Structures are given as structure tokens and as C-alpha cells.
Chains A and B, each alone.
Chain A
Amino acid sequence: MPVISIGNLVKTFGAIRALDGLDLHVEQGEVHGFLGPNGSGKSTTIRILLGLLRRDSGDAQVLGADPWRDAVRLHRRLAYVPGDVSLWPNLTGGEAIDLLGQLRGGLDRRRRDELLHRFDLDPTRRCRTYSKGNRQKVAIVAAFSSPVELYVLDEPTSGLDPLMEAVFQDEVRRVKQAGATVLLSSHVLAEVEALCDRVSIIREGRTVESGTLTELRHLTRTAVTVETARPVTGLDALPGVHDVHEVDGRTHLEVEPAHLDELLGQLIRFGVRALTSTPPTLEQLFLRHYGDDPAATATGAAAVPASPGPATVGASDVDAQADAPRGGAR
């Protein structure tokens, strides 16, 4: 049973369509990365999942219940870390953690003290005197002190130093081990790569991609540089090969992973002397999804935006690929 199941979700604020038919499925026990550029609707989705905002249309289920109608019952079973933590300025950090935990239905005191120690947080200071990172720690400690089924984390590590980032990752792994599900919205790609079983990428209120990182990689082209004995010809005619150009006797091109085999078959006839193949980096993967002109994607026009990196070229062809069965390359 999916822990979070969202279908065709729509939310408007006046004339602005913040969510425009969003889909999101998070399975029991997984750490699910929730990615997208600023303003793409991640926090709006999370607020709907928490019953803070009311959806205009579409389906939303959290732990098998309606997040708006059953908000209070659901909130006993989940913990939330907001992206921009505000706290009661005149309470101490320790008091705020205890209060949030108690309002949620109780917390594990031993874990709380252990987390305070691990995150190196002074609980006797007033919340108004905390830095952004320390306020973030208060919310993280309050959330992870509660043994719940679902953790909803909205950019939880913005403002944490690398040491604390590592502690945070340990905690996510620990709750996962215990069987909990985590929805993690983040811009820290290393964190996503280290933690997430699956990711969903959204843009302008719509899901554009969803799957494991390996699956997503297959949707993005590999950059190939090849040096041959004789000048290469006939590459343009091959399916899935793009952006062929020659510099100093070397041929540079991009190929969709599904067509790598055919490309190699063609190259080998010209006497390969050297060949490098670079799979897309995570950054390229996201830049492609974040930076594209969505109109081009939608209409299938071959628009080539002037963004850096080979992964941004010819988006429309690759998106057509997204409909094909996954994992066809191997």
C-alpha cells in the first residue's frame, strides 16, 4: 500500500495555478526524494499533505486517510520539518522540542537527549537567539524524537554544516531501518543521491519524472568523445545520436543510452583509437529538468535553450523517450 498517493492534484491561489495536475506516489519504507526548482510547488504539495491547505481537485491520500478530513488522526502518525522553521521566540529550544513532541502525541525522551547531543544543540537558549541552522536543528530533533510512520521533511538541511548533514543522513537511515517512510524535499543533490530510493521531479506544479536514480539516468544522454583512424561518417543517420561535431580531429556527440550499441557498431568501422564515454552527472540530470523551456517540452518543438552543458540539448526527443518502457537500454 502506498504511504502517499497523490493523483492529478490541483491547487490555485487566485490566478496562480500552483499545482497543475501533480502526481506523487511514495511506497512504504522508502526514502523518496521530492525535487524541483524554487516555486515549482513542493511546499504547497507538502502543506496539502499536512492538511494545512485545501486541494481544489484531485486525489490525495496519506497513510490511507484523507489529509484534510483526518488531519489530527494522521498527525499522530507523522512528523514534519518545515523548510523555514519559526519557533516561539520566548521558549527555550528544549521547551519547543518537548512541546512539539507532546502535541504530536509524545516523544522518546532518551532519543531526544541523544539527538540533542549528536546535533550539538544547546537546549537552554531562547528560540529567538538561535541561528537559522540551530532553529532547523530544533525542528529536526523534535521530529526524529517521535517514533512515527512517516517523516515529511521540507528542505530540512538548509543551513546545516556538513558535519550535521552527516548526522542527519544517519538519522534518516535509522528511521528507514525501523520501517518508516520518508518524503524528503531537498536541493542538496549529494544528499538525495546518498539517501533516496526513488525521486520525483516536479516543475510548475506537475510531475515531470519519477523513478529510481538509475532509471532517470537512462533517460539522459551519454556524452561520447571518439578519435578514429579515418573520418567518421553516417552518424547523423543513426537513431538516438545528437549534436555531432568535430574539433581537432576528435568527434564529440551525445547518444541516448538505448542506442549506445548501434553507435559503437558504426564507430568500430572507422578504426577507434581513443574513446571516452561520460554518463550524465546528477547535476546534469536535474539541470535538464529544472532548466528546460517547458513549452518546448509540451509542444515537442525542437527548442534548444542556451543553457550550459550537453544534457540540456534537444529536450523534446528525450521526453518522448520517457513514455517508452523503462530500462530498455539493458
Chain B
Amino acid sequence: MSALTGTTLLARLVLRRDRIRLAIWVLGTPLLGYALAGSVAGIYPDQETRQGYATTSASSLVARAFNGPIHGTDLGAVVVAETYVTLALIVALLSTFAVTRHTRQNEETGRAELLGANVVGRYAPLTAALLVIVGANTVAAVLLTVALAGAGLPLAGSVAAAAAIGGVGVAFTAIAAVTAQLSVTARGANALAAATVGLSFVLRAAGDVLGEQSADGTRVRSAWPSWISPLGWGNQVRAFDGERWWVLALPVALLLAGVALAYALAERRDQGAGLIAPRRGPATAAPRLLSPTGLAWRMQRGTLLGWAVGVAVLGLSMGVAADEFDDMIDANPAAAEAINAMGGGADLINAYLAAMLGLFALTIGAYVVQALLRVRGDEADGVLEAALATAVSRTRWLGTQVLAATLGAIALLLLAGVTTGLGYGIVTGDPLGQAVELGGAALLRLPALLVIAGVVTAIFGLLPRWSVALSWTALLVFLLLGQLGAVLELPQAALNVSPYTHVPAVPAVDPAALPLVVLAAVAAALLAVGVAAFRHRDVPS
């Protein structure tokens, strides 16, 4: 078929470009699965503890919303409940970004045009990307099966669980194939697909919360919204609890439908065009745009709005969930221990709230990294050159970006605290008081975020070409130290590397000024290093 001419060659190009990313993905997910299965087996070694876990999980709406429905008391079922949502989200986002990278991004940069002028069929680029990405999901699933079975879980269940996670990847590959046809920009295509991931999460959470507990109390039968969520399908396979293999046909069917739709859309549109037509805009700039600050706000506002919606929804639901948290803790000593480690002891509700605010601070760290890396993006595509050739100093330019990211972080932190407080306050009858208290507590996390901003700025100043990779790695290291450091019993010196370690876990403990002042000082030093380095280096084209 001539529309597919060149697919093999292009698939090899995809493999060549992504050989490192794919290797990390395909090997990393099984390794993560193996490690998590081992640690869960250590925490719930016998039938009695697992019975307790399953009963609590089935009755707790929080557990249903965030971990999905529990299916029985097999060790494998507990492993799935503890790991499925995380792994599925990772695989969904990896697949999404990979599809966009090899389809719409190529069109946006003009590479697709260069390729398309050769002996390459109309469908070949999309097909090549899909082959590789579906292939990566398949290989990762096979290796994950081996990892789970290797950790001592039953083989049939291991196959089902790994296939369920691979199926999520395949389903979102199909969705991304369609969004890549709709939006003109790679950023837009990714945003559409990521929004679909978010919507799937919410639908699945709703379906599982609305589901029924089985008579023996250790199982949840999800309601219909879970069935329209590709993230929910994996749970419905019921790995380790009388596997329902036919559910795995759903992601395959979605893949076929998605590919057919994507082909049809690709057939009807022009190269480089989307279905969402670009709008015209003003012929002259509004006065408020005409400064580095105005420009930074204009560039940030869309991203910030997206983050604000996500943070507010999450904050409200976490706050509302806090009230029923006590019931869950009673029967789940491991969770209590984990929350304690994150929140720092004291009253469990306050520990939970402190832990949630800590999670928000970590998540908003990703916003800070994303916002500041724009400077590097501008440098890489040459926009920075145009700006610095005007009468704007490098210090002012970079300072404006740091200021914009900081203001965004303050707004998001405040929003996270206030919405969590509102949610909790509505249940306990004191929305205003809780909103004020938790809003204040959330803002105490700001110095840690300033350190993140400092780290990114310093990397941008000293090693511009490595900015993207090193900045995200730094955030990931902080995340892992915070989430797994205590469980893995790492030495305090290692934990101290993360700025989050030093933030007092308010409201679980009393606020302390000294660590915050020290963090702010470290942040200031890092920022100074970054700005000085940027002032003294070349701005390569």
C-alpha cells in the first residue's frame, strides 16, 4: 500500500532518536514494579494484614478514588491497588508525549515536510510512531510480567496486571494519535491528550467511589463511569482475582478506532494544519504587553490557568476526603506509618493535611521548573536573541522570568491551601477558618520552591544545553527523596539534599523560622549564581 511506503525506515528513525528514552521507559517501569511489589510484600506479609487492607480499601472512598477498586486479598491484588494508578499514569503520559513528539512536533518544526517530500507515504510517519510506541508498551508489559512473577506473584495475575498497564499505554497512544491531528502545535496536542488523561482519572475515581462493596467486604464493583475511562479498564481486568481477559480487548479496540480516525483526519487535512483553526489577533499590542513583565505574564497565563484549575479540583477533593481519613487509618497501619513519615507525627488529621500540602508543594515544583525552562526554550529557538538585541539587560530579562515563576508559585500554593481548607472546612463546618489557616500553612512551602527556582536558574546560567534534562532530574530526585527516602531508610544527609526535607510540616508541627530563612538564603545564592553566569556566557543561537 503506497500510503505506508517508508514506514520501516521511519520506524527505525524513531527508534534511533528515542533510543535512550525508550530504554529508560521499557526497563524503568518493570524495575519500579519489581521494587514496589517487594516492598508491599514486606508490609503485608500474611492473610490477616491483607484482609485488613482490603476491607479498609473497599470501604474508604479516598482509597477508592486514589488507588482504584480493590479485588480480594491476594498479595497481587494489594500490589495492584498500591501501584496500578501510579504506573498507569506514568505509562499514559509517556505514550502521549512520545506520539506527539514523532507526529505533530515534526510537522511544527518542518521536519515532516522534509521527510514527506521523499518517497514516504501519507500515513507512514504516524504509522511508524504508533508501531514503535505500541511496541514499547508491549515490551514493557512483557518485562513487567517477568518482574511481577519474579517477585513471587502468580503468573496468570502477573500477565493480567502487566497487560492492564500496557493496555493503558496503548489506549492513550490511540488518543494522542487523534489529538496530534487536531492541534496545530505540539504543545496544544500534548495539552489535549494530558487533559484526556486527567478526565480519565476523574471518571475512574468517580466510578470507583460510586461503586458497591461486595458482601465479603474485600472487593469493589465499580460503577459505569469507570467503564468509559481507559484508566479504569485496567482495574476491571481484576488481576489476581479471577482475571477477566476479555476486558483487555477494550484498549485494542480503542487503538483500532483511534488509528482509523487519525488516518481519516490526516487524509482530510493539509500538512502542518490542524482542525482547530488559528484565530486572528490584534494588529497592535496592548500597552500592558510592552515590557518583559507583560510578555512573561502573556506567555505564562495559559499554563498558570491550567495549573490553577487542576490544583483547585485536587485541593477541594483532598480537603473533603480528610474527614473520612480517620476510618481508613485505623485498619491500615502501613498507610498511617507512611502519612506519619510524610507529615511528621502529631494529630493524624493534621499529619494528613500537612502531607497533602507537601504533595502540592512537590507538584507545584513542576510548575516552577516548567515556567523557568521557558527561558531556555526561548534561547534554543532564537527568540531570546531578538529580545536581548533590544535595550533589555540580561539581568532584567532573567529576573523577570524568575519573578513570574515565583508569583505563579505563590498563587498556586495559596490556591492549594485555600481549596484544601475549604473542602475540609465544609465537612467540619468551618470553611473560612480552615481556608485561612491552610492557605497560610501552604505559603510556608514557598522557600522550598524558591530553591527549585534557584536550582533551575543556576543550571540555565552554567549549563544551558543541559537545562531541561538536569532541571527535571533535580526535581525527580527531590521527589524520590521525599516519597521513598524514609521508607528506604536513607541516611539523613541524603534526605537533606532536598529542600522539601527542611520545610516544617505545618499544620502537623509548629512553624519554625530558621529553616525557612536558610532555604531562602540558599535560593538567593543559587539565583545570584545563575544570573551572574548568564551575564557572562555566550547566548548561542
Contact = CB atoms under 8 A, between A and B. Distances in A.
Interface of A: 43, 47, 50-54, 71-73, 75-76, 80, 82, 84-92, 94-95, 98-100, 102-105, 123-126, 128-129, 139
A132 B205 CA distance: 48
A11 B52 CA distance: 70
25 contacts: A50-B389, A51-B388, A52-B538, A54-B536, A54-B537, A71-B388, A72-B391, A80-B386, A92-B280, A94-B281, A94-B284, A94-B285, A95-B281, A95-B282, A98-B284, A98-B289, A98-B290, A100-B390, A102-B290, A103-B390, A103-B392, A105-B390, A123-B283, A125-B280, A129-B278
B420 interface: no
A82 B386 contact: yes
Given A87-B383, A94-B283, A126 B278 contact: yes
B185 A128 contact: yes
A255 B390 CA distance: 49
B388 A104 contact: no
A86 B539 contact: no
B477 interface: no
Contact of A43 (B283, B291, B387, B541): B541
B299 interface: yes
A94 B389 CA distance: 19
Contacts of B541: 43, 47, 84
The 6 closest A-B pairs by CB, nearest first: A98-B285, A103-B390, A92-B281, A102-B290, A86-B382, A95-B285
Main secondary structure of the interface of B (DSSP, over half): loop
A262 B185 CA distance: 69
A103 B389 CA distance: 9
A52 B391 contact: no
Contacts of B65: none
Contacts of A90: 298-299
A52 B541 CA distance: 9
A129 B389 CA distance: 24
A86 B292 CA distance: 17
Contact of B278 (A76, A94, A100, A128): A128
Nearest to B295: A99
A31 B398 CA distance: 35
B381 interface: yes
A90 B390 CA distance: 20
A271 to B, nearest CB: 60
A154 B185 CA distance: 28
B184 interface: yes
A75 B283 contact: no
B393 interface: yes
A52 B381 contact: no
Contacts of B279: 126
Contacts of B390: 75, 100, 103-105
Contact of A75 (B291, B381, B383, B389): B389
Given A71-B393, A89-B185, A103 B387 contact: yes
A133 B149 CA distance: 60
B442 to A, nearest CB: 31
B391 A104 contact: yes
B267 interface: no
Nearest to B277: A129
Contacts of B184: 128
B113 interface: no
B289 A82 contact: no
- Between A51, A73, A85, A95, the greatest number of chain B beta carbons within 10 A of the residue's beta carbon is seen for A95
Given A52-B389, A53-B538, A92-B282, A102 B382 contact: no
Contacts of B278: 125-126, 128-129
Contacts of B383: 86-88
A206 to B, nearest CB: 21
Interface string B285-314: 100011110010011000000000000000
B284 to A, nearest CB: 5
Interface string B497-541: 000000000000000000000000000000000000000111111
A91 B283 CA distance: 10
A111 to B, nearest CB: 14
Nearest to A47: B541
Contacts of A53: 538-540
Contacts of B388: 50-52, 71
Given A104-B391, A124-B282, A125-B278, 6 more contacts: A72-B391, A76-B391, A94-B282, A100-B390, A123-B283, A124-B283
